[in-house]
Structure 1
């Protein structure tokens, strides 16, 4: 926490310090220049006021009166004639002659600033011309010592220093609070990701904020939940694989040992061989299903699409499966409109329907019905597989497409299912760019609906997973 909050604090402090320093210097310079300009304007106005009085009565009495007026003030006045000779002065200012010699050109009637450098000079100075019938007859020089300006600047600097210290302390306090507030969720996220890297996905991040940090926390929380779900699925998947592989292997090994160690009559021998062959076939189908799912996960599963005449395809499926349904006493009906075309992989489409119809064959009792209906709505081909079997409980329907999920776990061996058939169906349908829907009621049956785009649609719509 300290490292992250310290880094954030330093960054914030440097940024705000630079901004505040620039603003302080700018404000200080502006106030200083403004104050000096006010002093110069006041000094110039005072000189112009004396000049106006002298223009009305330019005599010794008026000169004495002006000198007397400035004797108690912080300013000094010097009155000269047109040639620069001093006529009256409240304080001696020998620099008058140097200033006078540097006067270049006509002095404007409103006056002029002669000395404005208050930082180095002892006094600032202005000059106002005395006119008589548009002719300059003299000058009024005004001086103000810079001690008062320096004192003013000193007080101003002191005030700025106090303001700077206070603002600096407030800035530091605000930075500490903000850095900790910003660092805390980031540190929680860092710790959460470290725990996730160690296999602990029980992350609980606060997601109340609506900013980018809240979005990041939501994303990490979602990732944690997904990883936790995947871990649980992986455990169940590995456990199910181990169970499914161990059971047929146990049968095969047990009956092989019996055949090898005992003298059996031919009838028992054939019986045990049939069991071994059945379990071997079951094991082979399971491995094939696992291999297909692995290729789908790696996106290396090939869908080789072609134009399928659905009526011929469904009729062929009926001929293959009708004996199996007939043997069990289940009614098997097929309905497909003629002329329907579908852009799909024929072998994979057959695998999809075989898995669904095999489930119907398993879960339907004699006298019940299984049907396959193919129809078209606009450019969507719908293949509906419906049975009137025992149905699926509502709480199990959302999970039936998960791998190794079984509705009746206690009877799964007796019924022969491995829990992979519907998972493969979903993967294959989605590999064709289609969707699969399911609805079911207990003791009323189950309906699977496969939705595909027709061959007339743009072929780019379909997904090619390779």
Structure 2
């Protein structure tokens, strides 16, 4: 994670440096260009002002006056006649100035004047030329010169200021990015440590789940995962313990009664009785193993659903006709109410298992001389199946747990009634594999209603 922090910091730093460099570079170019243009515009403007004065009074006195005015300025003026012969100048004329004056002879220029030399970085002077035009006739020229050393000094100072500012900006950026990368990576480091603890089955995870950002969402996801893994671990432990207990009981019966059957002096009546018990427990054990195997297939996603469209009423009537004798034997009336022409897209074999399981539960827990009602009807795009009994009901505290594997509401009566605590878990799994839902409502002492809701076409 430290590598991530380092890489993140370096990446940020490189991006910031590139952006800062581009920003400072273009800002530097803009300022330099602005300052040079200001100097050249000022030089050209002074030359044009002198030209305007000379156009009004082009005589020796005015010419000397102009030269005298520029003698105290940083700029230099040279006044030439129409043949580029020098009449007067504010300063001594050196070789560089003579070259620029000569250069001006071959240039095309307008009354507004032009730049003769603008290369401030390599040449000693900036120079402009403005023609003196009187009554349409070109009477002479005003040359203006500005030493480029002050400009270069100014640019050098500006460059130094930018270098200092850039250096300070880089230092601030490095410090900011360091703390920013730490701010981002520290939660990631804690999450990494949390996941390592989870892999070691230590679910004592402490994360900042109150952040209102992506890191907060990730922390909440890891925290939820930790809780779910803890729950699954406890569930697995409890499930294995329950399975061990459930298998141990019939195996104990089988071993115990098998030992008794091995006695030579056992009466034939008792032998027959104990053999029947062994057969009953073996059947119970086989059914439990079958259901456990079915749940294992569901967990591994090897449990396939093969749907087809069937008439629901005929399907339910067929199931009820086969189960009715068992209900009649217990003096329980089994009734079906089904809307005609209700079709549903289901796996008939798996769905039969669901209805059989729920009706078997209703038969076991319903009281004598009561009714068990099966209702099927359409509700918008859904088909609803309700199975209602008038039995003892389910205590409210147990309702959230009845779908868990091997959970039994009344542990003391479950064996007598043949319950293994797996049927409702299988029911819920099959219904959900069909894309439906199953819910339960129960009043303790009055009865229970299981409601299956499934799409007509899914």
Scaled by the length of structure 2, the TM-score of the pair is: 0.90
String of CA shifts for 1:408-428, please: whole Å, max 9, x gaps. Answer: 234433433211011112222
Summarize the Cα distance change of 1:46–1:350 in structure 2 as closer, same or farther, 3 Å threshold: closer
Q: 1:44–1:382: structure 2 CA closer, same or farther, 3 Å change rule?
A: closer
**Cα distance 1:138–1:284, how it changes in 2: closer, same or farther (>3 A)?**
same
Deviation for aligned residue 1:80 = 1.6
Q: C-alpha offsets along residues 419-454 of structure 1, whole Å, 9 cap, x if unaligned?
A: 10111122223334433221111111111123345x
Q: Which among 131, 149, 153 is matched to residue 129 of structure 1?
A: 131
Q: What is the 5 A alignment of 1:339-354?
A: 339-343=340-344, 344-354=346-356
Maintained 8 Å contact 1:51/1:140? yes
Q: Report the Cα distance in structure 1 between the residues aligned to 2:305 and 2:160, rounded to whole angstroms.
A: 83
User: Deviation at 1:144?
Assistant: 1.4
Q: Which residue of 2 aligns with 1:188?
A: 190
1:360 and 1:370 in contact (8 A); partners too: no
The answer as to whether partners of 1:389 and 1:443 remain within 8 angstroms in 2 is yes
Distance 2:417 2:406 in 1: 14
Alpha-carbon shift at residue 269 of structure 1 (Å): 1.4
Aligned to 1:372: 373
State the alpha-carbon separation in 2 of the partners of residues 52 and 407 from structure 1: 113
Tell me by how many angstroms 1:76 deviates: 1.4
- Could you tell me whether the CA contact under 8 Å between 2:342 and 2:377 is conserved in 1? no
Change (3 A) 1:49 1:340: closer
Q: Contact 1:332–1:370 (CA<8 Å) still a contact in 2? A: yes
Task: Return the alpha-carbon distance in structure 1 between the equivalents of residues 314 and 70 of structure 2.
Answer: 123
Match of residue 63 from structure 2: 63
1:202, distance to aligned residue in structure 2 (A): 4.1
Task: Structure 2: state its 5+ residue gaps.
Answer: none
User: Does the residue aligned with 2:33 lie in a helix, a strand or coil?
Assistant: helix
Choose 7-16 or 126-135, whichever is displaced more. Answer: 126-135
- Distance in 1 separating the partners of 2:263 and 2:318: 46
Q: State the partner residue of 1:147.
A: 149
C-alpha distance in 2 between matches for 1:339 and 1:26: 82
Partner Cα distance (1:193, 1:268) in 2: 61
Asked if 1:25 is matched to 2:19, the reply is no
> 1:95 is paired with a residue of what secondary structure?
helix
Q: Is the 8 A contact 1:370 1:385 kept in 2?
A: no
Shift of 1:81: 1.7
User: Are 1:335 and 2:321 an aligned pair?
Assistant: no
| Whole-angstrom CA distance in 1 between matches of 2:80 and 2:382 | 110
Greater shift in the superposed pair: 113-122 or 77-86: 77-86
- Following the alignment from structure 1 to structure 2, what is the Cα–Cα distance between the partners of residues 127 and 271? 133
Moved more, 25-34 or 312-321: 312-321
4+ aligned runs moved over 6 Å, structure 1: none
1:240-297 Cα deviation digits (max 9, x unpaired): 2111111111111122122224531112212221221111010011011112222233
SS in 2 for 1:395: helix
2:93 is matched with which residue?
92
- Contact 1:340–1:376 (8 Å) recurs in 2: no
Could you tell me how far 1:237 is from its partner in structure 2?
1.9
* Farther-moved stretch of structure 1 (251-260 vs 18-27): 251-260
Asked whether the equivalents of residues 111 and 127 of structure 1 are also in contact (C-alpha less than 8 Å), the reply is yes
Distance in 2, matches of 1:353 and 1:63, equals 120
Indicate whether 1:50 and 2:50 are aligned. yes
- Residue 346 of structure 1 deviates from its aligned partner by 4.0
Separation in 1, partners of 2:30, 2:338: 90
Q: Pairwise CA RMSD of aligned residues?
A: 2.5
1:9–1:253 distance in 2 versus 1, CA, 3 Å: same
Is 1:101 the counterpart of 2:102? The answer is: yes
Distance 1:370 1:299 in 2: 38
Match of 2:453 among 448, 451, 454: 451
